[in-house]
Amino acid sequence: MKWPWSRTNGEPGWLAMSLRPGEFSYVHGQHLAGGQSSIERCGTRSLGADLSGSERLAKEFHFERYRCSTLLAPGEYQLLLVDAPKVPPAELKTAIRWRVKDMIDYHLDDATIDVLDIPPESSGSARGHSMYAVAARNDLIESCIGRFQKAHIPLSVIDIPETAQRNIAALYETEGRGLALLYLGPDQGMLTITFRQELYLARRIEIGMDRVLAADGVARDELFQRLVLELQRTFDHFDRQFSYVSIARLMLAPEPRESGLAEYLGRNFEMPVEGLRLGEALKFGAQAPADAAIEWRLFHLLGASLRHESKVL
């Protein structure tokens, strides 16, 4: 979701931010020549509950030099799978709006809608073509923009965690194969499956890292078994829907501390299961401390900072 006040020159890349009462988190990333990507700076700063202290941040960061983005939080939007309408590109968003009008619980006039394509099979088969529609209430979007304006930050893009996770997955794909990536946030998890740097599937899982790290023994094994079942059902569904996409491996996002999940999943899946090491795919600058806890906490901001302009979202 883009707005017309993007800056036209200045610092390269994207400054992805989370601005919530009491806290400001940020990641500045960019794509370098030769296909490599880098994280120039990242961290978290304290703010007042009323965003007091934002003027100090504006002076320190010189936000006007950056293309600035943020992420909607779970519960602030819906990601809806729809059949792609057979209309000219100029009419696509209007057609999608009518497709989703019965899938949202508020009036269509009160909705901001964007689209994310799922490319069809390249062989040109008659298989149906699907798209994701991202729907959010206008007043929520306006509130988000207003929060950044109050903090003197010229917001250019509002993104979603699913596409941020896609951006990271794209760094680890095997040519011609799909990649599954699982991230466990504090309260819930997200599984994405990407192929040719496109998002083909995104699913939220109601098991978070806080529960995993608080459990031990039998309780932790039960949580892990639930994850295995949820993942296997998703893989089975994906195989039926996209039989032409073969998943090369399942990767696990960084954890704040070792949970044992990678080892457990590795024993329960035939596909390779690997921990994702961001330092192998990204160059971290002097102002971007890289450790597992920071990478876990800022994971989706890291992905948002690696946005490609060619993507719809």
* Tens of pLDDT, residues 92-112: 989 999 999 999 999 999 999
Say what percent of the chain tops pLDDT 70: 94
For residue 298, the enclosing domain spans 1-75+138-172+277-313
Residue 9's pLDDT band (boundaries 50, 70, 90)? low
Q: Report the CATH number that the domain containing residue 308 is assigned in CATH.
A: 3.30.420
Give the orientation angle of helix 261-268 with respect to helix 217-241, to 10 degrees: 50
Question: 178 and 250 in one domain?
Answer: yes
Domain end among 137, 157, 182: 137
DSSP the chain: -B-TT--SSSSSSEEEEEEETTEEEEEEEEEPGGG-EEEEEEEEEE--TT-TTHHHHHHHHTGGGSEEEEEPPTTS-EEEEEEPP-S-GGGHHHHHHHHHTTTSSS-GGGEEEEEEE-PPPTT--S---EEEEEEEEHHHHHHHHHHHHHTT--EEEEE-HHHHHHHHHTTTPPTTSEEEEEEE-SS-EEEEEEETTEEEEEEEES--HHHHHH--HHHHHHHHHHHHHHHHHHHHHHHHH-TT--EEEEEE---SS--SHHHHHHHH-SS-EEE--GGGTEEEEEES---HHHHHHTHHHHHHTT--TTS--
Question: 297 and 233 in one domain?
Answer: no
Q: Report the CATH number that the domain containing residue 181 is assigned in CATH.
A: 3.30.420.40
Question: 312 and 289 in one domain?
Answer: yes
Question: 32 and 2 in one domain?
Answer: yes
Question: 32 and 167 in one domain?
Answer: yes
**How many structural domains comprise the chain?**
3
**pLDDT(4) > 50:** no
Domain end among 117, 137, 157: 137
User: What are the pLDDT digits (tens) for 174-230?
Assistant: 999 999 999 999 999 999 999 999 999 999 999 999 999 999 999 999 999 999 999
Question: 248 and 293 in one domain?
Answer: no
Question: 155 and 48 in one domain?
Answer: yes
The answer to whether 228 and 268 are in contact (CB under 8 A) is yes
**pLDDT(232) > 90:** yes
pLDDT at 312: 46
Residue 62's pLDDT band (boundaries 50, 70, 90)? very high
Mean pLDDT of 16-31: 94
User: What are the pLDDT digits (tens) for 41-51?
Assistant: 999 999 988 88
Return the higher-pLDDT residue of 4 and 299: 299
pTM for this predicted structure? 0.93
Q: Report the CATH number that the domain containing residue 132 is assigned in CATH.
A: 3.30.1490
Residue 89's pLDDT band (boundaries 50, 70, 90)? confident
Residue 123's pLDDT band (boundaries 50, 70, 90)? low
Question: 213 and 158 in one domain?
Answer: no
Question: 144 and 41 in one domain?
Answer: yes
